[in-house]
Structure 1
Amino acid sequence: MELDDFKSAWKSVEFPMKGDREILSMIRESKHPVLKKIRRQLTIEVAGLTVFLACYWSLFDGASKHFFVNLLLVITLLATIWYNIYGYYIAKNIVDGPNLQASFQKYLRRMSGYALGSIFSKAFYAFSLIVFFTSGVSFHLSTYFALGTIAILFTIQLTLLSRMWAKRLGVLNELLSLLK
């Protein structure tokens, strides 16, 4: 299709008129399907981490662990909760620039930083869980085997998370190159 044909076809299309109320309801945060899914996932993760944080002291013998092991776990859990909320904030505030291209570049930079932080956050969280649950444990061959298996599983999870973020950022980079 030639450019002139495209322009004339564009001008001939009649767009449905939307009222102010309809437009406002479309852009409301509670109606946005992607934000709704992110909010649901955030709620589940924060609730789970909060329950774990509330119960770990008695349920997993946090009282018998060293102070710094408990401190590491609590800081890691709180940082993970905060970082999840920060990710929601980034997803909620996509448009932040004078035009679409500048806004998308800023969003891509934020998402790249968030992806890196997300991977490190999960790695630090896994590390703190391993430190917490192995604190005060006498090590035998079976314990080393179990710890090795857990470390392999955490490594696989982090690898999959890294690939997922690389794929997402690749799609965003392709979209940005189409805008240029």
Structure 2
Amino acid sequence: MTNDPLKAAWQTANIPAHDDLQAVVRARGGHPVMSRIRRQLLLEGGCYILFLLVYYDFFDGHRRPLYLNIILVLSVACMLMQHLNGYLLASSALKGPDIFRSLQQKVLQLKQYAWLSVGSRVLGWCGIMVFFCTGITWTNAKYGLLAGAIIIMGVQMAMLWQLWQRRINRIKNTLAELNG
């Protein structure tokens, strides 16, 4: 017996099983963060697919060489697969004998995904730029626009990388707190 009523209440509390908690979350429509990720995936995926359906006519894909069409389709598919992979990573349950090892595994997965996320966006946007920039008669103004677009994409990729590093560092800090 303990003299601390809070500790005694905690020890006698009826804690639902993990499977019961997952059933409750599923019955309520899922976790709100997962709902936002799913909504973003559907919106962006729908836009990518719509783009692939209309680019051939709208952006003269039929007048461009086959290799440029393949580059464009692969670039957009690369970014779409990156989004799907992110959703699957976010929805995967923690695996491990305890929370500490589970978070260690999640940190490794997030590091790999951060590289994949930034890399696939860079490759995707490079492929899209190659498709649209091929066959242009270049002037100084167009070079300036291209340089501006490259700078904007570079800043976006740097911000995306920093975002992933902050997420990973938050989990690392939690691991450090759990460890000691």
Same fold by TM-score, threshold 0.5 exceeded? Answer: yes
Partner of residue 9, structure 1: 6
Q: What CA RMSD, in Å, does the superposition of the two structures yield over aligned residues?
A: 2.4
Contact 1:80/1:121, CA 8 A, preserved across alignment: yes
Code of the residue aligned with 2:103 in structure 1: it is: F
Contact 2:118/2:160, CA 8 A, preserved across alignment: yes
2:94 alignment partner, SS class: coil
- 1:92–1:20 distance in 2 versus 1, CA, 3 Å: closer
Unaligned runs of 5+ in 2: none
- Give the Cα separation in 2 of the matches to 1:23 and 1:104: 20
2:135 alignment partner, SS class: coil
Partner of residue 38, structure 2: 39
- Give the Cα separation in 1 of the matches to 2:135 and 2:110: 39
Q: CA deviation at 1:19?
A: 9.3
- 1:52–1:113 distance in 2 versus 1, CA, 3 Å: same
Q: Quote the sequence identity (%).
A: 24
Unaligned runs of 5+ in 1: none
Displacement over 3 Å in runs of 4+: 13-25
Code of the residue aligned with 2:68 in structure 1: it is: V
1:28 alignment partner, SS class: helix
The Cα offsets for residues 118-166 of structure 1, whole Å up to 9 and x where unpaired, read as 0011111111111111011111111111111111111111111111111
Contact 2:72/2:131, CA 8 A, preserved across alignment: yes
Contact 1:94/1:104, CA 8 A, preserved across alignment: no
Normalised by the length of structure 1, the TM-score is: 0.87
One of 16, 20, 23 as aligned partner of 2:21? 23
Q: CA deviation at 1:85?
A: 1.0
Contact 1:105/1:176, CA 8 A, preserved across alignment: yes
Corresponding pairs, count = 176
Normalised by the length of structure 2, the TM-score is: 0.87
Partner of residue 175, structure 1: 174
1:95 alignment partner, SS class: coil
Contact 1:76/1:125, CA 8 A, preserved across alignment: yes
